[in-house]
């Protein structure tokens, strides 16, 4: 076992293979007579592969963080919607905190069960992405494990599922899928980047 890439704890329990992608976007706005249109262009560049060991403790913390973050966003969005509705209708009362509490509770419960079902590899990817990104650059860490993107009973991983779960939107996803995810020896292909003297290309 190796040292945890996140907390530096010795003997991390799990090692993951990631594709590292530099992801950025630009926006342009076109003004028309009665409206304006904003177009966002996404850029993705494959940087290399990384093998990272992440301990179970860090995965658990990231799982809790995930639930709390999205629950907070649901709560803020719900409260804003309720207040706007109340101002428009002029109807303020006990219904606001009641509806707010119900929606937030349902959201929190749903997120809790979703976080349990979500594979550890994606939380490990979240950890690595967060540690290697800032306001000016984002390095996306995509788990390279075919089983994560293969539907039950399917013979091979699904490209669209790979894009959705991996957070990729360009042809970079297609190339990673065809060259390193579909082949039966995908793990060996990725590992060759390290065993052949090629560096562990960290962002």
Going by pLDDT thresholds of 50, 70 and 90, the confidence category of residue 92 is confident
Same domain, 42 and 141: yes
Mean pLDDT, the chain, integer: 89
Q: 62 and 25: one domain?
A: no
The mean pLDDT value for 96-110 works out to: 94
Total of domains in the chain: 2
**Is the per-residue pLDDT at 24 higher than 90?**
no
Quick one: 29 and 113 in the same domain? Answer: no
Write down which residue in 65, 89, 117 finishes a domain: 117
Q: Tens digits of per-residue pLDDT, 142-152?
A: 999 999 999 88
Compute the average pLDDT of residues 91-117. 93
Q: Distance (Å, rounded) from C-alpha 179 to C-alpha 56?
A: 30
Would you say residue 64 has pLDDT above 80? yes
d(CA 175, CA 10): 35
Print the domain residue range for 91: 57-117
- Are 126 and 191 in the same domain? yes
Same-domain status, 127 and 51 = yes
**Residue 4 within any structural domain of the chain:** no
Q: 112 and 136 share a domain?
A: no
């Amino acid at each position: 076992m190796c040292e945890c890439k996140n907390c530096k704890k010795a003997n991390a329990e799990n090692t993951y293979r990631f594709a590292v992608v530099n992801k950025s976007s630009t926006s342009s706005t076109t003004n028309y007579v009665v409206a304006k249109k904003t177009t966002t262009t996404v850029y993705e560049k494959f940087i290399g592969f990384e093998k990272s060991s992440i301990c179970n403790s860090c995965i658990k913390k990231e799982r809790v963080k995930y639930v709390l973050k999205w629950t907070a966003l649901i709560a803020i969005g719900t409260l804003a919607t309720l207040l706007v509705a109340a101002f428009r209708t002029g109807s303020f009362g006990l219904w606001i905190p009641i509806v707010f509490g119900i929606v937030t509770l349902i959201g929190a419960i749903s997120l809790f069960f979703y976080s349990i079902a979500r594979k550890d590899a994606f939380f490990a990817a979240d950890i690595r992405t967060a540690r290697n990104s800032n306001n000016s650059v984002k390095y996306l860490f995509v788990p390279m494990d075919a089983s994560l993107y293969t539907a039950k009973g399917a013979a091979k991983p699904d490209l669209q599922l790979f894009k959705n779960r991996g957070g990729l939107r360009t042809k970079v996803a297609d190339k990673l899928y065809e060259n390193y995810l579909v082949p039966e020896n995908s793990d060996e292909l990725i590992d060759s980047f390290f065993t052949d003297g090629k560096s562990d290309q960290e962002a």
